[in-house]
Amino acid sequence: MMLGHDEICALIPHAGSMCLLEGVESWDQETILCYAVSHTDDANPLRRHGGLHAVCGVEYAAQGMALHARLSGTASHPGAGLLASVRDLRLFAENLDGCGARLWIEARRLTGSAQGFIYDFGVRTAAALLLSGRATIIATPGIWP
């Protein structure tokens, strides 16, 4: 199932330029593969000091996880989670900008319940892995209007 930027913005709590994902290539009950081009935009809201540091890839991955939770039916509300922790984060690049025309964001849910989720994630280009890690998301239904 393919989704575009506008459909993604309707499913996650990120709006405007903070909705970083451009599309969904594929997803199933455990995994999602998204892509982004916003890392090449000079107006990217995460850009600092003339660049987009690789650690910003965690936000790209978190948006992929939020989208996966909505698509898989695990989260029923667009603001149903907070990034609680990131573990085993490995950065293989200094910056995301200049890494190519498209970033690929993959997230795989390891476990999930009404209380939250744990995902493994990776952000890469067609040629190289840029970062990887594991994230814990805590479900917080009802904190957004």
pLDDT digits (tens, 9 = 90+) for 26-59: 999 999 999 999 999 999 999 998 899 999 999 9
Contact 65, 24 (CB under 8 A): no
pLDDT digits (tens, 9 = 90+) for 53-98: 999 999 999 999 999 988 987 665 555 678 899 999 999 999 998 8
Set out the domains of the chain in order of their start, with CATH numbers: 3-139 (3.10.129.10)
pTM of the model: 0.91
**pLDDT higher than 70, residue 119:** yes
Adjacent-strand bridge partners of 136 = 85, 118
Secondary structure (3-state) at 117: strand
Instruction: Tell me what pLDDT residue 14 has.
Output: 83
Distance CA 99, CA 8 (A): 23
Instruction: Tell me what pLDDT residue 87 has.
Output: 97
| Residue 132 confidence class, pLDDT cut points 50, 70, 90 | very high
